[in-house]
Structure 1
Amino acid sequence: MKRRVIVGFVFFVLYNAIVYYLGWNVYHWLELAFHIKMPIVFSIVWLYFAYSVVISNFNERFRITKVVSCYWMILMEYGLLLFPIANILLWLVPSFHMLWVGYIILFIFIAIIGFGSYMAYSPVVHRKTIQIKKQNQTIQNFRMVIASDFHLGILSNKNLLQKFVMRSNAEKPDIVFLVGDIVDDHPYWYKAYDMDEVMKTLTAAYGIYGVLGNHEYYGKAIPTFVNEMKKSGVQILRDETICIADSFYVTGREDKTNKSRKSLQQLSTMVNTRLPWIVMDHTPSDLETPVELGVDVHLSGHTHLGQLWPNQWITRKTFELDYGYLLKKTTHILVSSGFGFWGPPIRTNSRSEMWVIDVELYD
């Protein structure tokens, strides 16, 4: 308990130091560019921006504050990268004028938001064909649509979900997998914006299946979420293994946030190894166990491939596979960067995406 208090205090001091540093730079540039001299007003507004992340969590209905908090993340991330460079440049080359250096940084921020918004709201479709050595008397091949990390809410919205549904339905999939973080914490905005009406139009021959991600746990409304998905035509698998059309097995794992989740070994007991076995696990933290147990297809999301540059350096160090496709022995592993986004509606290191996987079975 004492250690937690110390860590919390250090984080509080460090965070406020960063807020002050960024605010000091912004205020002095505004003062120079627009002759603004209202330090008290600026401080109040700046603190609102800085603590919008906390304030927005008081109530799901604080829509504007939630939006402010998302864009604050961009200012934090790239402010900490750009402002020190500007400060050092002005110190080393006094002839550079702070006004024009500030305009350059402002232009870079506008470019980041413009480019990042396009990458976030213009999803692409990736296609791949894989072969699995399994016998099946019912079907010889099937098509899967895979998407993760929608974070459906205020900014990852109904229109973005509609893009997914249209693209998925156009592929005429046999089965659709939604691999966690379907809503952004709480399903309040999913229902408030009638996103269920869009999700209900998603079609697949053998059904639509999903799993929980870490953000569903953060929202602390899992029963409500599962019920909303059920009404929308999505079956959430919670540490369950099911057989679909007597043709293949699907296992949906609880997210690793749940420390009491079952092991994959426990979930494998009902699997007939003569049929293909597909596993959904939102976080790709363990890829060894699926390979050892003979999983044919392992699907994950969670990483967003960092979402914002240079965060991919962290995900690459954290996960064996932080994005894309990998064949490990006989296990086909896929980690998606997600169809939506978390926090700011901006991607500077990845693009929103959907995967279409054609599975071919052979003896």
Structure 2
Amino acid sequence: MKRIAGAVIAILIYSAIVFYFGWSVATWVELYLPINNWIFGIIWGLIAFGFIIGRVSHKLRVFSIVGSFWMIVMQYGLILFPIASILTWIFPAHLNLIGWIVFGIFIIIIIFGMYNAYTPVVRELSIVMPKKGSKLESIKVVVASDFHLGLLSNRAHLTRFVKKANAEKPDLVLLAGDLVDDDPIWFVQKGMSEVMKQLTSTYGIYGVLGNHEYYGKKIPLLVEEMEASNVRMLLDETILVADSFYLTGREDMTNKNRKQLSELAPEERGLPWFVMDHTPSNLLIPEKEAVDFHVSGHTHLGQMWPNHLFTRRIFELDYGYRRKGSLHAIVSSGFGFWGPPIRLGSQSELWSVNIKLEDGEV
């Protein structure tokens, strides 16, 4: 009962915000064009609830796209519309100018944000760790996460990743979860498997599940598609790679039945140990278990400013590289995006990590 009441309250608050935004826009537009309030209200409501409508059926995907862009309005409208209302109250004669300024800011946000989202960069890092018993002198690892492959993070964007990753000539590729945007249907229908198959690596390409694969509830299909794309999915599994290092892929923490990291530890600890875990929930655990290299994603670095202020408080490491004792940890902001195809305060990326293995303690 409390859950239903909470949902009703949330819908009422959201609807009130949508009404306020719509009233503000209509007031400005009416300076230039006559508006039928009923028609405007219906269109505005369909846009505001488009993300939900698009989930009803894949045939309504246009609503999902419109709803994704609506998130930009919600994110920054909560800041801009109240400011605009106050300025209009103080300077009522300048409603037209205030409206154009707000409109211009939204356009700048969209243009700059889409550039950051669709123009990925390569973050380079060099680290040194104990060789232990490995026969390798070095390993180049490409790390990427949070592709959210679907309607907007599409085949063309995946192609950008494959080209940039292959240019690094990696020994190992680690895909740290949220590979598809909930449902792998668009990965299948748009033939993204053919693009993923072009990814090359000396010792293989490996992936793990993220929370969005669980939201989509089609994990068997996702795993099947990834395996067919030459991406080996590790689901609470530890394997020996090239007789030189161990690699563990953890189930996402969304799965309450996932194994503890200690249960996945290699029986023989004479080689370097790499771990993929989509959510960087607690770095103390891999540090305690003597993991050498730990990669995650999930946070998107907030994706849209100023959301990074929240991820920074939630996670010990919400982005970048950190060393904790013998543990080397990386959290990527992701190659794709969730919802709107924009990034402010972050940029789509992949990591190219040169790992040098040396004898003795490092």
TM surpasses 0.5: yes
> In the alignment, what sits opposite 1:54?
52
Of 349, 354, 362 in structure 1, the residue corresponding to residue 350 of structure 2 is 354
Q: Give yes or no for contact 2:143–2:350 (8 Å, CA) kept in 1.
A: yes
Superposed CA offset, 1:202-237 (max 9, x none)? 010110000000000111100000000000000111
Superposed CA offset, 1:271-297 (max 9, x none)? 422211011000111111000010001
**C-alpha displacement of 1:12:** 1.1
CA distance in 2, matches of 1:68, 1:59: 15
**C-alpha displacement of 1:137:** 4.7
> In the alignment, what sits opposite 2:148?
151
- 1:81 has 2:79 as partner: yes
> In the alignment, what sits opposite 1:14?
13
Determine what percentage of the aligned residue pairs are the same residue. 53
Of 132, 138, 160 in structure 1, the residue corresponding to residue 135 of structure 2 is 138
Superposed CA offset, 1:308-350 (max 9, x none)? 0111111111111110000011100100000011110000110
**C-alpha displacement of 1:146:** 0.3
Superposed CA offset, 1:41-76 (max 9, x none)? 001101101111111111233221111010010011
TM-score by length of 1: 0.97
Question: What code does the residue aligned with 1:139 have?
Answer: L
Of 293, 296, 302 in structure 1, the residue corresponding to residue 292 of structure 2 is 296
Question: What code does the residue aligned with 2:284 have?
Answer: E
Q: Give yes or no for contact 1:125–1:354 (8 Å, CA) kept in 2.
A: yes
Greater CA deviation, 135-144 or 300-309?
Answer: 135-144
CA distance in 2, matches of 1:36, 1:127: 55
CA distance in 1, matches of 2:288, 2:219: 31
- Change in Cα spacing, 1:37 to 1:137, as seen in structure 2 (3 Å) is closer
**C-alpha displacement of 1:10:** 1.0
Q: Give yes or no for contact 2:134–2:271 (8 Å, CA) kept in 1.
A: no
Q: Give yes or no for contact 1:308–1:347 (8 Å, CA) kept in 2.
A: yes
- SS at the partner of 2:43? helix
- SS at the partner of 2:58? coil
- 1:175 has 2:175 as partner: no
- SS at the partner of 1:61? helix
> In the alignment, what sits opposite 1:166?
163
- SS at the partner of 1:62? helix
CA distance in 2, matches of 1:138, 1:328: 25
* Structure 1: segments with no counterpart, 5+ residues: none
Question: What code does the residue aligned with 2:149 have?
Answer: L
CA distance in 1, matches of 2:66, 2:134: 55
> In the alignment, what sits opposite 2:310?
314
> In the alignment, what sits opposite 2:272?
276
> In the alignment, what sits opposite 1:66?
64
Q: Give yes or no for contact 2:145–2:333 (8 Å, CA) kept in 1.
A: yes
Of 191, 199, 208 in structure 1, the residue corresponding to residue 205 of structure 2 is 208
CA distance in 1, matches of 2:290, 2:342: 37
CA distance in 2, matches of 1:137, 1:264: 22
Of 205, 221, 226 in structure 2, the residue corresponding to residue 224 of structure 1 is 221
Question: What code does the residue aligned with 2:27 have?
Answer: H
> In the alignment, what sits opposite 1:336?
332
Question: What code does the residue aligned with 2:10 have?
Answer: F
Root-mean-square deviation over aligned CA pairs:
1.0
**C-alpha displacement of 1:259:** 0.7
Q: Give yes or no for contact 2:134–2:272 (8 Å, CA) kept in 1.
A: no
CA distance in 2, matches of 1:271, 1:251: 12
- SS at the partner of 1:70? helix
- SS at the partner of 2:195? helix
CA distance in 1, matches of 2:213, 2:12: 30
CA distance in 1, matches of 2:306, 2:37: 33
Aligned residues: 359
> In the alignment, what sits opposite 1:29?
28
CA distance in 1, matches of 2:208, 2:43: 39
TM-score by length of 2: 0.97
Question: What code does the residue aligned with 2:20 have?
Answer: Y
